[in-house]
Each structure stands twice: as C-alpha cells, then as structure tokens.
Amino acid sequence: MTFRSSPGRRPKPEDVFDLKCCRGCRQQYETPEHVLLQCLHVPEIVDLRHRFLSSVNIDPNLERSESHCFELLKSLLFSWDWIACTASFVNDVLKVWKDGNNIEREGEDSDEERE
C-alpha cells in the first residue's frame, strides 16, 4: 500500500492514529493529498511540488488545509490542461516516497484501508 489513508480521509474516533499517520511527519493522516501537496518532511518532494505548482501557476508557498489540498488535487487530476504534468509530478513523488519508506519491502503494511 502506497498511502496509509485514502483520499479525503478524516480522523474517526475508532482510528489508531499510529497506523494512519504520515510516515514522514507523523502529524497528519497519510492521505495522497497530504503527501503530494502538504507534507514538508521530505525535501525532495517539497522541491518537486514547488516546481510543479509553479509550472501550473499555483502558489507553492501558500499554506493549505487538508480539505483545500484534497480539492486542489482533484482539480489538478481532472484538468485536461494539466493532466500530463500532474501525472508526471505524482509519478516522481511516488518514486521518492516509496524509496524513502521501503514500501515494496515492508511486510507489516499490508492491511487494507476500509471505507
């Protein structure tokens, strides 16, 4: 599993935070929008994000809430003008993220997200 939490996931009382939280910063749920657009833990990802957002004329330095990141990610993925650069940005971030977390090799991480 690439991300521990599904897109738009918000904390629920029965959640075990340690199993859902970002493996980078451990501050927020590890949703795709958090890792792609919000997390500041991995400098390489911050750098990729900065270049990508600048290239689509979005302010990379603006602080965004989780729901804002979720909406932004959705609009990027559904934009015909940006889909190519969004896809390559996502691909690059996933590579860095998986390498950094040894995701392929990690056996303990196989529990599925249930929604």
Query: Which is nearer to Zn ion, 82 or 101 (by Cβ)?
Result: 101
Q: Does 24 bind Zn ion (CB under 5 A)?
A: yes
Beta-strand (E) ranges in 1-115?
A: none
Query: Which is nearer to Zn ion, 22 or 37 (by Cβ)?
Result: 22
Q: Please choose, out of 10-18, 23-31, 83-91, 101-109, the segment that lies near Zn ion by the rule CB under 5 A.
A: 23-31
Q: Rounded to the nearest 10 degrees, how much is the dihedral formed by the CA atoms of 57, 60, 64, 70?
A: 60
Q: Please choose, out of 35-43, 60-68, 78-86, 93-101, the segment that lies near Zn ion by the rule CB under 5 A.
A: 35-43
CA–CA gap between residue 41 and residue 34 (Å, rounded)? 11
Contact 3, 112 (CB under 8 A): no
CB of 25 vs Zn ion, minimal distance in Å: 3
Could you tell me how many residues of this chain bind Zn ion (CB under 5 A)? 4
Which residues inside 38-77 make contact with Zn ion, applying CB under 5 A? 39
Q: What is the DSSP string of 43-71?
A: HHHHHHHHHHHHHTT--TTS---HHHHHH
Instruction: Enumerate binding residues for Zn ion (CB under 5 A).
Output: 22, 24-25, 39
